[in-house]
Amino acid sequence: MNQGLKQFLLFSVVGAVGTSGQYAMLILLVEVTKQNPVLASTLGFLVGALINYILNYRYTFKSDKPHRETLVKFLVVAAIGACINTGLMYVLIESIDLQYLIAQLLATAAVLAWNFLANKYWTFQVMA
C-alpha cells in the first residue's frame, strides 16, 4: 500500500477516535445541558483536538520533534480547523437550518482534509 495512503488512513482512524470524543461532548452539552449547538461543537472540537494530537504525534507521524515545537504548530492548525468547523456549523445551522448532527458531519469532512495536509506538511513536516 502507498505510504501516503496508509498514513492518511491511519490519520482518519485517529481522527475518528478524536471525533468520537468531540461528538460525545457535543451531544452531551446539547441534549443534557441544553447548550447552544455551535458553542457545544466548538468545545467538543477542543476535546477532539487534544485526543488527535496525542495519537497523531505518537502513531500517525511517529514524531520525535519536541512537544514545544509540534504542539504549538498543532494548536495553530487546530485553531484554524476550529474556525472552519465553527463557521460551517453557524452557516449550516443558522442560515440553511440543517439539523445539527448533519451539519457537524459536513463540517467534519471539510476539516479532515485541512487537518491532514497542514499537520503532515507543516506540524510534523513529513515529506511525501
Q: How far is CA 99 from CA 43, 69, 92, 94, 114, in A?
A: 18, 38, 8, 10, 23
Helix (H) / strand (E) element for 67: namely helix 67-90
Q: Grid coordinates representing 80?
A: 484554524
* pTM exceeding 0.85: no
Would residue 7 count as lying in a domain?
A: yes
State the cell numbers at 119: 499537520
> For residue 118, is pLDDT > 60?
yes
Domain that holds residue 22: 3-123
Give mean pLDDT, residues 93-107. 94
Sign of the dihedral defined by the CA atoms of residues 74, 119, 91, 101, in that order? negative
Burial of 22 (0-12, 13-18, 19+ CB in 10 A): buried
Residue-level pLDDT at 49: 85
Give the pLDDT mean for 92-97. 96
pLDDT band at residue 91, thresholds of 50, 70 and 90? very high
Q: What is the pLDDT of residue 4?
A: 85
Cell numbers at residue 7, please? Answer: 498514513
Judge whether 30 lies within some domain.
yes
27-62 pLDDT, tens digit each? 999 999 999 998 998 899 889 888 999 999 999 998
Structural domain includes residue 86:
yes
User: Looking at the domain assignment, is residue 114 inside a domain?
Assistant: yes
Task: For residue 128, tell me if it sits in a domain.
Answer: no
Model pLDDT, residue 127: 58
Question: Cα–Cα distance between 88 and 49 in angstroms, integer?
Answer: 17
Total number of domains constituting the chain:
1
